Amino acid sequence: MEKDNPLYKNQGIHVITALFTVEDGNFKVLLLKRDNQPFKNMWTLVGGACYNNETVEEAMQREMYEKTGLKNIKTTFFKVYSNPNRSPIMRMLAVVYIGVIDCKKVKILKKTTKTKDADWFLIDRVPPLAYDHNKILTDAIEFLKEKMFDSQILKNLFPQTFTLPEISNAYQSILDKEIDRRNFRKRLISSGIIEPTGEYEATTGKKPAKLYRFCENLKEE
C-alpha cells in the first residue's frame, strides 16, 4: 500500500442496520428521520459512520444505541455496498446488518441529537430514503425471506413458546402471501425449525392450542 496515493484518501465506513418487526400481523421496518446534512429531513435505516478506533460491530451497536436507545441487539451481517458515489460527501462503504425484534418489548427514542423522529413503517409504505437505503432495504427483505425456512432469524419475534397461528401470521406477513397452515406446519417441523412442546395453551371456549418452540440446534445466521 502506497499511503501517499491520493486514491486511498477521503474514505469512510457507514454501519447500517435494517431492523424489522412484526406488529399485529404487519411486517415493519424501523426508520429514522435525519436532522442534519446531507439529506436533512429524509428517512433512513438505522446507522451512521464508523470511528477509526472501533470495529464495525462496535460501531453498529454504538449507532444503534445513540439513535434508538436500544442496546445489545442481536444482528446478522448481511452485505457490503461499495458504490463510490453512494454518499455526496466522500467515498463511504456501507457495512449492513439485519435485525429482527419484538417492537412491543422495546422503547425507541423518538429524537436524538442527529435525528428528529423514529417510527416503524409498513414495508409497503416506506418513503424515499436517503443514500441508497431503499436499495439496501429491498435487498434485506429478500434475504430475510430466503432465510426464513433454514434459520432461527425470526426467533426474537416470539416468546419461548408460541402457537402455530402466531408464527404462521408472522411468516405470512413477511412473505406477503397466504399460507396453507397445515403444509406450513409440516415444513417448519420437517426443516427442524420448530418442534411441539407437548403442552397446550388454554383458551376460553375454544379447543386448546398446541404450543411450539424453536429447535435448540437450529443454526443462527
CATH code for position 164: 1.10.10.10
Shared domain check, 199 and 137: no
CATH code of the domain covering residue 115:
3.90.79.10
Shared domain check, 178 and 143: no
Please report whether residue 221 resides in a domain.
no
Say what angle helices 164-175 and 133-147 make with each other, to 10 degrees: 140
Q: How far apart are the first and last CA of the chain?
A: 34
- Give the model's pLDDT for residue 154: 85
Range of the domain at 205: 155-214
> Is 0.85 surpassed by the pTM of this model?
yes
Number of domains the chain contains: 2
- Give the model's pLDDT for residue 75: 95
Intervals of the chain under pLDDT 50: none
Shared domain check, 136 and 109: yes
pLDDT tens digits, 115-150 = 999 999 999 999 999 999 999 999 999 999 998 887
Q: Cell 452485505 appears where?
A: 79
Shared domain check, 52 and 128: yes
Shared domain check, 71 and 138: yes
Shared domain check, 91 and 182: no
120, 147, 174 - which closes a domain: 147
- Give the model's pLDDT for residue 179: 87
114, 147, 180 - which closes a domain: 147
Shared domain check, 35 and 137: yes
3-state secondary structure of 219: coil
- Give the model's pLDDT for residue 3: 78
- Ranges of beta strands (E only) in 41-155 are 43-44, 46-49, 75-81, 91-100, 115-122
- Give the model's pLDDT for residue 197: 94
For residue 96, is it left (φ>0), alpha (ψ between -120 and 50) or beta?
Answer: beta
Number of helical H runs and strand E runs in the chain: 4, 10
Shared domain check, 209 and 101: no
